[in-house]
């Protein structure tokens, strides 16, 4: 073999051996897979060590609001505002809480609570006028709860009224000397004098009274002016059809709604009639002619209007109610004629 041919053969053999060696090397040492992107490990949220509630509440009337905050401190020493992440609540029926915003809806006292993780924290909260305390009570009759009883508390901060719930419970604010009056149709009213110098509780007992019959119903009402009056004959005596019902709005400070089949003034939105309160067999009426109020006793009599203003008190029986009316009767027309007397009469007959 010539030297040139021998050289080419050797070169080809060397290339073949190199390729073979490379193939064998790949089989023996397969390439490792490409590494994945470096993904950091998810770390668990540190455990909560403590929870602090910040802010101050100054809630004096229903509708007042106050903002609280919640700060969590973790075991690693870090802290975080979790006001909008915490769970908020209250043992009060008198406030609502959302993201730390406390809204007063009624008088009372208790706690506002925040929870974050497994940690719970609370702060005291109360809804009462400035300088007033909270009086909680329960009304019963022989141990049985009396619901829908009217509770009125009169003291230096003012007069407040509410109604008992189905368990007989109520809450009213007050301070210093308080007159607490509890009433319900069919019961003797309870009046208690007490001094309130701290948040306190009271138990009130009502006694159901045997009634001569229900006062609710339809009547013929006759107004009879005092003999001392010098009113025109058409104003000395008036007769109406009347309905007596239990008060429709519990928050109003009366027991009875008296409505009359009388056309009121065209400018009024008040119902023709008046209001009443029952104490045992005694009925007390409050009569007004304010056409912008809840009730007004105003009648159109020809071209004139007849106005009644005053109070009346009497007793009721199965036959009806006889009450003495102390007040004014005014006939307003081209001239004004008024009679003020304490012995007008209102007679309700069934």
Which secondary structure element, helix H or strand E, spans residue 234, and what is its range?
A: helix 233-236
Residues 153, 178: contact at Cβ < 8 Å? Answer: yes
Residues 141, 187: contact at Cβ < 8 Å? Answer: yes
pLDDT digits (tens, 9 = 90+) for 183-206: 987 788 899 999 999 999 999 999
**Where along the chain do the CATH 2.60.40.1120 domains lie?**
133-208
Give the separation between CA 248 and CA 258, rounded to whole angstroms.
11
The alpha carbon of 38 is separated from its chain's Cα centroid by a whole number of angstroms, namely: 58
Q: Please provide the DSSP assignment of 63-79 as one string.
A: T-EEE-EEEEEETTS-E
Taking CA atoms, 278 is separated from 46, 186, 322, 342, in Å, by 65, 8, 14, 21
Q: What is the pLDDT along the chain (350 residues), one digit of tens a residue?
A: 444 444 444 445 444 444 344 444 434 343 333 333 343 333 444 699 999 999 988 899 999 999 999 999 999 889 999 999 999 998 877 899 999 999 999 999 889 999 998 899 999 998 999 989 999 999 999 889 999 999 999 987 788 999 999 999 999 999 999 999 999 877 888 999 999 999 999 999 998 765 556 788 899 999 999 999 999 999 999 999 999 998 876 556 688 999 998 766 655 678 899 999 988 778 999 999 988 888 999 998 889 999 999 999 999 887 899 999 999 999 999 999 999 999 999 999 98
Which residues does residue 122 pair with via DSSP β-bridges, in sequence order?
113
* Side-chain half-sphere exposure of 70, counting CA atoms within 13 A: 28
Q: Which CATH architecture has domain 48-127?
A: Sandwich (2.60)
Can you identify the CATH homologous superfamily of domain 133-208? Answer: Carboxypeptidase-like, regulatory domain (2.60.40.1120)
């Amino acid at each position: 073999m010539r030297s040139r041919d021998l050289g080419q053969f050797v070169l080809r053999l060397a290339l073949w051996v190199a390729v073979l060696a490379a193939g064998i090397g790949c089989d023996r040492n397969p390439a490792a897979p490409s590494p994945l992107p470096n993904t950091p490990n998810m770390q668990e949220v540190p455990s909560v060590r403590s929870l602090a509630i910040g802010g101050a509440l100054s809630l004096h009337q229903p509708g007042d609001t106050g903002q609280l905050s919640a700060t969590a401190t973790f075991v690693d020493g870090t802290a975080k505002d979790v006001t909008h992440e915490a769970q908020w609540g209250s043992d009060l029926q008198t406030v609502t809480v959302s993201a730390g915003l406390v809204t007063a809806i009624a008088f009372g006292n208790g706690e506002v609570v925040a929870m974050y993780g497994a940690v719970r924290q609370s702060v005291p909260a109360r809804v009462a006028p400035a300088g007033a305390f909270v009086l909680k009570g329960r009304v019963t009759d022989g141990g049985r709860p009396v619901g829908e009883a009217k509770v009125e508390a009169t003291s230096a901060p003012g007069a407040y009224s509410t109604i008992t719930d189905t368990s007989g419970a109520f809450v009213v604010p007050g301070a210093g000397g308080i007159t607490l009056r509890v009433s319900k149709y069919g019961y003797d009213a309870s009046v208690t004098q007490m001094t309130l110098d701290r948040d306190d509780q009271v138990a009130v007992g009502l006694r159901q009274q045997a009634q001569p019959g229900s006062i609710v119903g339809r009547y013929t009402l006759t107004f009879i002016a005092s003999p001392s009056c010098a009113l025109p004959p058409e104003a000395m005596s008036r007769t109406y059809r009347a309905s007596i019902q239990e008060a429709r709005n519990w928050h109003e400070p009366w027991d009875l709604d008296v409505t009359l089949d009388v056309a009121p003034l065209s400018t009024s939105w008040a119902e023709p009639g008046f209001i009443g309160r029952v104490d045992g067999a005694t009925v007390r009426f409050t009569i007004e002619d304010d056409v912008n109020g809840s009730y007004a006793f105003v009648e159109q009599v020809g071209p004139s209007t007849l106005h009644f203003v005053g109070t009346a008190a009497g007793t009721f029986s199965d036959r009806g109610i006889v009450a003495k009316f102390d007040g004014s009767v005014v006939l307003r027309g081209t001239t004004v004629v008024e009679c003020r007397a304490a012995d007008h009469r209102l007679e309700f007959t069934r």
